Structure 1
């Protein structure tokens, strides 16, 4: 097995500021959604860093110049339902032409194992860079299962983007998918006995959709 890629952690004052506000249990549902969208936009910049470009000649006021544009069929964002949809909006703000896939996974709260209940991907996945989205990389079971399915659909070099990651989840992902780059806003201390990230930010899905 090849050496696992090290996670990319966004080290920026705006990220730290917005993430602190996001963690605050007194932040409203509307505020949580807005902050998640803003952070996902910042995540998108880093998650798309390795996209390839090709030359593009354009007309400017002084004549012609050669610039660059994205090469190939570009991107596919893959949301792990339901909380992944909170990151999706910000990503699409940055790349509105991207295709979108969805993966529905359930986690057993006792065994922490996951099972799939929904899978829908664009037909041209092999020609696109897939960025898999979920706010949390906790145990890593859901993320790794989603990556496995995306690879089976033809994705060559998927990326996993999340707001928070736990060391346990990073290790699990590295064991199963050492070739996958994890991009996150922060790596927290640990998981608690229920598999939640500490200090974390609570249940991201409940806070996004007001079901807490």
Structure 2
């Protein structure tokens, strides 16, 4: 088996500050949603750091020049529903031309396994960088299922972006998909007996959408 790609923890002061506000149980739904969007925008710089570039000749107000621009097919943000939608809001501001994929999965609370209910992706995934987004990497089951589906659909350049990761989820994703890089704002202590990240921030979907 190939060695796993490294986990990148984005320790920028603004990221860590906003993550603390996000963890606070007293943050309102509106505040939580806004913070997720802002964190996605900041983390988006890291997850897109190595996108390929080419050059194009342009005219500035002063002269012509060869200027850098993104190369290749438009990248894809793949949202693991429903909580991934909060990250998509920020990432779409960073890369407005990106294609959006939607992967509907929910966690069975008894088995903690991922159950699929929706899958809609752009065409030609084999030639597109795909960034899977979900606020939490807990057990890793949902993310692994999402990557399984994307690979079956032809994707071969995949990375994963989350706000929080548990060691158990990292191990699961690296074991199943060692070729998928992980970018996160923090690695927390562990999972509890219910499969929630500790200290974590609770259920990201419920806090984002004001549900229980």
In the other structure, the counterpart of 2:186 is: 186
Cα offset for 1:109? 1.1
User: Normalised by the size of structure 2, how large is the TM-score?
Assistant: 0.98
In the other structure, the counterpart of 1:158 is: 158
For structure 1, the residue ranges without an aligned partner over 5 or more in a row are: none
Does structure 1 retain, via aligned residues, the 8 Å contact 2:79–2:102? yes
Cα offset for 1:199? 0.2
In the other structure, the counterpart of 2:42 is: 42
**C-alpha separation between the residues in 2 aligned to 1:49 and 1:152?**
26
User: Normalised by the size of structure 1, how large is the TM-score?
Assistant: 0.98
Q: Could you list the runs of 4 or more consecutive aligned residues of structure 1 that deviate by over 4 angstroms after TM superposition? A: none
**C-alpha separation between the residues in 2 aligned to 1:114 and 1:69?**
38
2:187 matched to 1:205?
Answer: no
**C-alpha separation between the residues in 2 aligned to 1:74 and 1:7?**
24
In the other structure, the counterpart of 2:102 is: 102
Cα offset for 1:152? 1.2
For structure 2, the residue ranges without an aligned partner over 5 or more in a row are: none
**C-alpha separation between the residues in 2 aligned to 1:185 and 1:55?**
32
Write out per-residue CA displacement over residues 58-90 of structure 1, whole angstroms, 9 at most, x where no aligned residue: 111221111111111121100000000010000
Cα offset for 1:126? 1.9
Secondary structure (helix, strand or coil) at the match of 1:132 reads strand
Secondary structure (helix, strand or coil) at the match of 2:38 reads helix
2:112 matched to 1:115?
Answer: no
